[in-house]
Amino acid sequence: MKIAVFEAEGRRGTGIVDGNHIRVLATGEGTSSFLLRLFQTVSGDRDALLQEVDTGERVALADVKLEPPVPDRRGAVLCVGKNYYAHAKEFFGSGFDSSAKEEVPSQPVIFAKTGSSLSGHGDAIDSALDATNTVDYEGELAIIIGRTAHKVSRGDAWDVIFGYTVCNDVTSRELQKRHNQWLIGKSLDTFGPLGPHIVTADEIGDITAQKLITRVNGEVRQEAPISDLIFDIPTLIETLTRTMTLQPGDVIATGTPAGVGIGFNPPKYLKPGDVVDVEISGIGTLTNPVI
């Protein structure tokens, strides 16, 4: 099942993607509460919930603006740094890794983006907000948490995942370096594209069998299987929930593979007119122009 959040004719809504249409399940103020209810419903009970709320309305995908597929922008957006071996090496040697003492981390490197940075499929990345002109892309798999999660073991980690989507962890490299902690360089408005929709965990099956590809203006820049993660998904969930509580709708961006802009000599930063596509097999393609 693919779940999209959209805006059409001034109203916000959510529903199931069915070909070129969305089967509308909730609109207006009920959108967020329905998503939270859906996220917490185990797969075996979802059919009953969907029948209960089915409005019978369908809207064409071509007629809506896709929003980040989360209940709202107040949830946690947690990110993992240096979680592919080749990228860990390229970033460590880039001169921008101000906080690292290890080329390959011995423990997951965790940082955050603000919810205000989130944007949807098709939204523009506003490079003008970065006066340093060092805007970079980072294609990533994102996890959507489905149930309240605290002290979750590796063996139970898959049970708290509702589904997966695509993330572009857009970054100002100079601000990332200048401020040591990465929050400011990662959290510029529009620097958190997420979408185009969520694919539920039961539909996608083995997420580690999928592949990520990032293209800039059609040129392949990043390509790697999800199975190449240094710290796998159960490890990330176990690590995070050991000391904090994750809530339904929270996002975990699992890290980016090699091929980011600073990995080139000279760096290939994003500029106005560029278009970034991040594709994950089994999920879809997140596309964002740069202005």
CATH number at residue 260: 3.90.850.10
Residue 57 lies in a domain: yes
The CA-CA-CA angle for residues 107, 208, 108, to 5°, reads: 10
In this structure, the answer to whether residues 23 and 97 fall within a common structural domain is no
In this structure, the answer to whether residues 96 and 221 fall within a common structural domain is yes
Residue 159 lies in a domain: yes
Residue 230 lies in a domain: yes
8 Å CB contact between 91 and 102: no
Residue 224 lies in a domain: yes
Euclidean distance between CA atoms 47 and 41, whole angstroms: 10
Domain stops at, among 67, 99, 118: 67
In this structure, the answer to whether residues 253 and 164 fall within a common structural domain is yes
Q: Which domain holds residue 230?
A: 77-289
Domain stops at, among 49, 67, 85: 67
Domain stops at, among 27, 44, 67: 67
Q: How many domains does the chain have?
A: 2
In this structure, the answer to whether residues 16 and 146 fall within a common structural domain is no
Q: Under DSSP, is residue 37 helix (H, G, I), strand (E, B) or coil?
A: helix
In this structure, the answer to whether residues 12 and 151 fall within a common structural domain is no
What pLDDT does residue 272 have?
98
Euclidean distance between CA atoms 161 and 168, whole angstroms: 20
In this structure, the answer to whether residues 127 and 265 fall within a common structural domain is yes
Rg over CA atoms, the chain: 18
Residue 72 lies in a domain: no
In this structure, the answer to whether residues 128 and 177 fall within a common structural domain is yes
In this structure, the answer to whether residues 21 and 130 fall within a common structural domain is no
What pLDDT does residue 276 have?
98
8 Å CB contact between 176 and 98: yes
In this structure, the answer to whether residues 142 and 165 fall within a common structural domain is yes
Sequence-distant (≥ 6) Cβ neighbours of residue 253 within 8 angstroms: 77, 78, 79, 80, 113, 140, 141, 142, 167, 169
Residue 126 lies in a domain: yes
Residue 283 lies in a domain: yes
Task: Return the structure tokens found at 202.
Answer: 């039961």
Q: Taking every pair of C-alpha atoms in the chain, what is the biggest distance, in angstroms?
A: 56
In this structure, the answer to whether residues 147 and 281 fall within a common structural domain is yes
Residue 87 lies in a domain: yes
**Angle (deg, nearest 10), helices 46-53 and 30-39:** 160
Nearest to 212 by CA among 270, 121, 283, 125: 283
Pairing of strands 161-168, 77-81: unpaired
In this structure, the answer to whether residues 45 and 82 fall within a common structural domain is no
For each successive 10 residues of the chain (291 residues), what is the average pLDDT? 95 94 94 94 83 87 96 94 82 66 85 97 98 98 97 97 98 92 95 98 95 98 96 98 97 96 95 98 98 98
In this structure, the answer to whether residues 138 and 239 fall within a common structural domain is yes
DSSP letters of 63-77? GSEEEPSSS-TTS-E
